[in-house]
Structure 1
Amino acid sequence: MPHAKLSAVCAWMLATGLVFLSACSTTTPDPTAAWSPNKIYAEAKDEVSLGAFDKAVALFEKLEGRAAGTPLAQQAQLDKAYAHYKAGEPVLAIATLDRFIKLHPASPALDYALYLKGIVNFNDDLGLFSSLTRQDLAERDQKAAKDSFESFKELVSRFPDSRYAPEASQRMNYIVNSLAQSEVHVARYYFERRAYLAAINRAQTAITDYQGVPALEEALFIMVKSYDALGMTALRDDTQRVLEKNYPQTPYLVQGFKSRNDPWWKIW
């Protein structure tokens, strides 16, 4: 009887082993196993051009391992971040870029890494850079805009001669304008609800924190109207003089608030 049980156990182990070996034998072979790093990179770039970003990411990851410690592996990491971005995976793109920036602080491609990080956080389909939408960045989440600004700022300050610096500066201006406009949106909201002191405070925040941006014209007008509503005529008149001095052709004093359907960035 013991021998019978032992035989049964052995038979079970043999059968299990055969199943395991059978499973291993059906594993799909890696078609890139014999490819050179350059071939993997070329194939990954082809997938990017075809819009197959998930396939491109997989190939770039293989290349990072195969060519570890080489400039090609660094390039693969940057291209993987771009593929994540184009695939609508900003969190993965930012994580990849942060890893690159940490591991390669002296890379000649560091300016591009900062630029791409700014682009990923920037709402690329809004405002100055698109005519396809009438919603401006000021009406959306501000954290991404601020993160984008910081990336562009670091790029411009550390690499002023970079080919990406001019566009980064332009986008920084857009973001600053948008953040100021965000404060003005809130100020107008309070004004329309007759919370005049709150409207004055938010308009004043925009004027204090942001200099020389288009949104300040409306901020001053909101203050003029709020002081008038509160019967504070001296402050109203002082603010109106500031408005007229800085914006001598302002339409606000004649036409009132601009239509909400006319985005602020169209004045550019």
Structure 2
Amino acid sequence: MNFQIGESPFFKIAKNAILLVAALGLLAGCSGRDTLKYEDRSVEEIYDWALGYINKGQYRYAAVAFDEVERQHPYSVWARRAQLMSAYSYYMANKYQEAILTAGRFISLHPGNKDAAYAYYLTGLCYYEQIADVRRDQKITEQALSAFTEVVRRFPLSEYAKDARLKIDLTQDHLAGKEMEIGRFYQTTGEHMSAIKRFRTVVEKYETTSHVPEALHRLTELYMSLGIYPEALKTAAVLGHNYPDSKWYKFSYELMQKYSN
């Protein structure tokens, strides 16, 4: 579930503005360049032009037009609105890095503004939508987790906090999946202590994720292979207590039965 700025009170204010979508040619879009032809226009007119581009789904042009609002009228109340609208437009155009930078500038300039919650949330979305599969580096996943955590920490009652909490769970599950992949690799190559470290990280740091049952079973296997039977019994017991219906508990139970026999 992705909240968009169109659903927020901030966007409702902007949406209610009069759209002046006329044939003025403010953007030099026909040339393929994301630049504006400088024209001495009022802040309201430029802002409304930017909204017009959003209305037509031309988000890349909208972002540049909103940037022009800030450039030509940096001290107006419209500049603050345009800054966040620019970040939103870049996001909708899949220009994630530009969106992150613009949202970050809004946060640094207006940390106490009521729309700062959305700026943090939008930053999280930009990282979240770039998350790669667990076989690749997970730096972006960690950045998404950090941004969504800030939303919940700073704005727990905001309209974005609920979805941020959901995405925190999903990013943690993804990070746990990466640890599991590395742990399995170490286990198959005989690097047992390195594998144990990875699986313990899943159990201790990502204890609410879907990977914990398998991590406990893998730990049971590894402790058994190393002859550390008390630890194997302990992890198997934790697995059975918390996940009695899991297939991983069945595997650990069968393994422990072989040992007891």
TM-score bin, normalised by smaller chain: 0.7 to 0.9
Aligned residue for 1:262?
none
1:120 to 120, 126, 131: 126
Give yes or no for contact 1:152–1:169 (8 Å, CA) kept in 2: yes
Tell me the equivalent position of 1:252. Answer: 248
- The answer as to 2:230 corresponding to 1:234 is yes
Partner of 2:113: 107
Distance apart, 1:215 and its partner CA: 1.2
Number of residues of Structure 1 aligned to a counterpart in Structure 2: 217
- Tell me the amino acid that sits aligned with residue 74 of structure 2: A
TM-aligned CA distance change 1:253 to 1:155, over 3 Å: closer
CA contact (8 A) 2:192 2:222 kept: yes
Match of 2:159 among 156, 163, 178: 163
Q: Distance in 2 between matches of 1:209 and 1:31?
A: 53
The reply on whether 1:141 has 2:137 as its aligned counterpart is: yes
| Residue 209 (1) aligns with residue 205 (2) | yes
Consecutive unaligned residues in structure 2, runs of 5 or more: 1-35, 253-261
Question: Structure 1 vs Structure 2: percent identity of aligned residues?
Answer: 30
Q: Which amino acid in structure 1 is aligned with residue 53 of structure 2?
A: E
What residue in structure 1 maps to residue 182 of structure 2? 186
CA distance in 1, matches of 2:249, 2:107: 50
Deviation per CA, 1:194-228, whole angstroms, max 9, x where unpaired? 32222112101222222222211111111112223
Aligned-partner residue type, residue 181 of structure 2: H
Which of 40, 46, 52 in structure 2 is aligned with 1:40?
46
2:66 and 2:86 in contact (8 A); partners too: yes
Q: State the structure with more CA Rg.
A: 1
The CA distance in 1 between the partners of 2:117 and 2:221, in whole Å, is 46
| TM value normalised by structure 2 | 0.74
Code of the aligned partner of 1:44: A
Between 96-105 and 42-51, the greater mean CA deviation after superposition: 42-51
Q: Is residue 72 of structure 2 the alignment partner of residue 76 of structure 1?
A: no
User: Retained in 2: the 8 A contact 1:85–1:93?
Assistant: yes
- C-alpha separation between the residues in 2 aligned to 1:232 and 1:203? 16
Q: 1:243 and 2:239 equivalent?
A: yes
**CA shift in 2, pair 1:209/1:31, >3 Å:** closer
CA RMSD in angstroms comes to 2.4
Contact 2:217–2:251 at 8 Å: present in 1 too?
A: no
Q: Give CA-to-partner distance per residue, 1:160-190, whole Å, 9 cap, x none.
A: 2211111111111111222222211111111
CA distance in 2, matches of 1:139, 1:146: 15
Structure 1: 5+ residue runs without aligned partners?
1-29, 127-135, 257-268
